[in-house]
Structure 1
């Protein structure tokens, strides 16, 4: 994969690194992902990303199920 060099303001670089760290990724991966989302045509890959996020969330419904009506306040 080719490398590129970019110039960033010091504060932007610091903020970007902090954001990447909080999201368990690298600044390089963050920039790559943002570029892909911006310039690559949308595809079915977003579904994989959604399921990946759900898996990482480790949420548990405790067996509870709901239907469409349950999603609205009454």
Structure 2
């Protein structure tokens, strides 16, 4: 395996390390997985996987609806 050097924003690095720690993996492993998934994943499969996860989440709006303007209000 080859070593590389990356430049990354200090805050992103901090948050990335925290994320990796919460998931019991090294930051290096996190970056390796993300790059691997990005360059090897079929984009249509990624989309299908995303919708599958959303379907299994079981979340509900409780019948509440929003207008486009309400969703984009800052």
Question: TM-score of the superposition, structure 1-length normalised?
Answer: 0.54
Establish whether residue 12 from structure 1 lines up as the match of residue 15 from structure 2.
Answer: no
Aligned equivalents of 2:16 and 2:41: distance in 1? 25
For 2:32 and 2:11, the matched residues in 1 are separated by 20
Q: Runs in 1 of length 4+ with deviation above 3 angstroms? A: none
Residue 40 of structure 1: how far off its partner (Å): 1.3
* Cα-Cα RMSD: 1.0
Alpha-carbon deviations, 1:2-55, whole Å to 9, x = none?
10000011100000000000000001000000111110145xxxxxxxxxxxxx
Report 1:46-61 matches (<5 A): none
Larger helix percent: 2
Q: Which residue in the other structure is 1:60 paired with?
A: none
**TM-score, length-scaled by structure 2:** 0.54
Query: Counterpart of 1:8 in 2: which secondary structure?
Result: coil
